[in-house]
Chain A
Amino acid sequence: MSEPATELTLDTPSLLASEEHEVAIVGRSPWYLAWRRLRRNWVALFSLGVFIAIVIACASAPLYARHVAHTGPNTIHATDQIRVNGKVRKVIQGGAVYNPATDTFEIKSVDILGPTWWHADGRFVLGSDNLGRDEAVRLLYGGMNSLKIGIGSAFICTLLAVVLSLVGGYFGGWPDWFVSRFFDIIWAFPVLLLAIALGTALSVNGFHHLGVSIEPGSLWIPTSVIAFILIPYVGRPIRGQILSLRQKEFIDAAIGQGASPLRVMFSDLLPNVASTILVFFTLIIATNILTEAGLSFLGAGVRLPNPSWGNLIASGQDQLQTAPWLSLIPGIAIVLTVLSLNIFGDGLRDALDPRSKVRIER
């Protein structure tokens, strides 16, 4: 019988374990454990790959436009001739056509060039729109705008929500009262209507208050509007978590040791909600892309001729019968992006905290 351990230290459990199993136990950080769980979830990783591929494709829109399609997002080719599979045709055929034989204009039904795939040397891969612009180029540029707004507003929204809930949750009392009432007030509006109201009001003359100057038509308008209206959706659950963490002993201990409020907020409270924030950030990008699409569809987001997935669908709906690809393709792009983010977000949540209930309520 071996001699019982006389002195217990932090190393004792791992020593005992290595005696029993003949292997040492290695301490793992929670982030490593999460990564190990995520690594096994190949559906989530595949979705992340799809999302990254979409981001890279949209970011390389200028390259595609210059070297493959040889046109810009707003360049009009309505009267150009183009060679598809060796046959020459106009980008937009029909309409009022001048017939020199009879010296009259004949009205024919308008025929917009459909997707050529690769049969026209990379030009008009996804067809043309009603003005003769290259739809594939506009789709990529539109995706760039949609993703900029989605990711940018998710970043601003999460940042503001986290700072507000940290301040409210730490201090309690009237700061918390103000923060939670602020959430309540925004929560009381129908999301999309508030966004439209703000987006339209800001588009009249832009925003020139409080030392900030935004011109009408700027991408900052939809970005800030979406960030603002979705603050409570992120802030409410995080504030709840911080309120319950605030009651824990380790926070009292930190305060007792003389830690300043900023230190408690950022090195004690924040790391404990970091995994929640990460999951929310992923899922809110998806929500924001959908919101942006809705706003732009109604004309209160990205303004034409600047493309975005939402307003591409909107401008295509008049040609739904004759040129359905104009509305259907940007929608497929949205569904792919949002779906990949949602699947990855779900996987991330399961990996970071298998028992958590983080959820975006809409």
Chain B
Amino acid sequence: MGAFIVRRLLGMIAVMFVVSFLVFVIFIKIPGGDPASRMAGKNPLPQNITNIRKQWGFDKPFYVQYVRMMQKTANGLVPGKHGQYDVLRSFDTRQDVAHEIKRGIPATMSLCIGAAIIWLFFGTLVGVISAVFAGRFSDRAITTAALIGVSMPVFWLGLVLRFFLAEKPNDPLFPDGGYVGLTDNPVEWAHHLILPWFCLSILFIGFYGRVLRSNMLDVMNEDYVRTAKAKGLGPKRVLLKHVLRNSMIPIVTLFALDFAAVLGGGAILTETVFDLKGVGWYAAQSVGGLDLPPIMGVTLYGAFFIVFFSAIVDIFYVWLDPRIRPS
């Protein structure tokens, strides 16, 4: 077990290394041209470009450039190192990318944790109901609704919700976008987040419901379920303790990875539509101006979240289920 954890963590570091190198390639190499003059912003002094070229090592081989870029990205998290050339800065606003990402975390966290609770609960409910009533009318209705849910673009659903519930000229039910801090005003915080929570959850509810339904239908045919029924357990107990528990295993994996993805900026569309100034919103603002540093910063941040969570899930599994413990 200990050896497995060590190996999994080493693998995690290796993946993070490759991921960050890929981000470096996308950021510095793919656009072509002179990265220093792009970085110096609009109408730069020639001296600025020379300084940046020297500080970032653009006159040196690519591995030096890679190390410099990672150093400067990390510098944003270290207090005291905020000189003009010390940190990764946005091309347009000249602001420190790491600092801006940190500022977006509360809004993203509020959105994701709330939405995750909603989608896990309702996704399970949808899956259980449609599996129990498989083939009947309620199953048909629910699976059709779930299919429509996974076929909708999230941002369009957000616009529809805004149009019908938040943009009525007099007396709208919900505020039209924006974010209020939890510590500032908890009631307004929840009021602003209800629509985004709902919007982000819909896709996942449909998706989890479909996965859980087919898992449960598979598990219901297992021998141990027949045994449980044969020894006289009540249908509720069989369903909850035997069928649901075993069908939830793939859902838990999916949930951990999806949760990591939305936490890492994957809720970018929802955040943009509802003007929630979170991590994904920050990346989305930079697309129009081809302002690469914020996008690269958020991508790196999101990838780290996913890699970390998937390592945790793997370790958790091995601890939970001795059969998959590696030799």
A interface residues with partner B (beta carbon < 8 Å) = 184-185, 187-194, 196-198, 200-205, 207-209, 286, 290, 293-294, 297-300, 310, 313-314, 317, 320-321, 324, 327-328, 330-331, 334-335, 338-339, 342-343, 346, 357, 359, 361-362
Contacts and interface: CB of A to CB of B under 8 A. Distances in A.
Nearest to B203: A362
B269 A192 contact: yes
Given A188-B303, A197-B299, A313 B159 contact: yes
B287 A299 contact: yes
Nearest to B31: A204
A338 B151 contact: yes
A201 B27 contact: yes
B295 A320 contact: no
B302 A189 contact: yes
A193 B298 contact: yes
Interface string B254-279: 10000001001110110011000000
A200 B286 CA distance: 9
Contact of A185 (B15, B38, B296): B15
A189 B26 CA distance: 13
Given A286-B151, A294-B155, A324-B163, A300 B287 contact: yes
A52 to B, nearest CB: 17
Contacts of B18: 185
A36 to B, nearest CB: 21
Interface string B284-299: 1011101010011011
6 contacts: A190-B265, A192-B269, A200-B292, A203-B290, A294-B154, A327-B159
Contact of A297 (B30, B160, B265, B269): B269
Most chain B CB atoms below 10 A, which of A190, A194, A204, A300: A190
B268 to A, nearest CB: 6
Contact of B153 (A188, A204, A208, A331): A331
A224 to B, nearest CB: 12
B175 to A, nearest CB: 15
Given A197-B296, A327-B159, A342 B207 contact: no
Nearest to B263: A190
Interface string B7-27: 000000001001100110011
B231 to A, nearest CB: 28
A190 B264 contact: yes
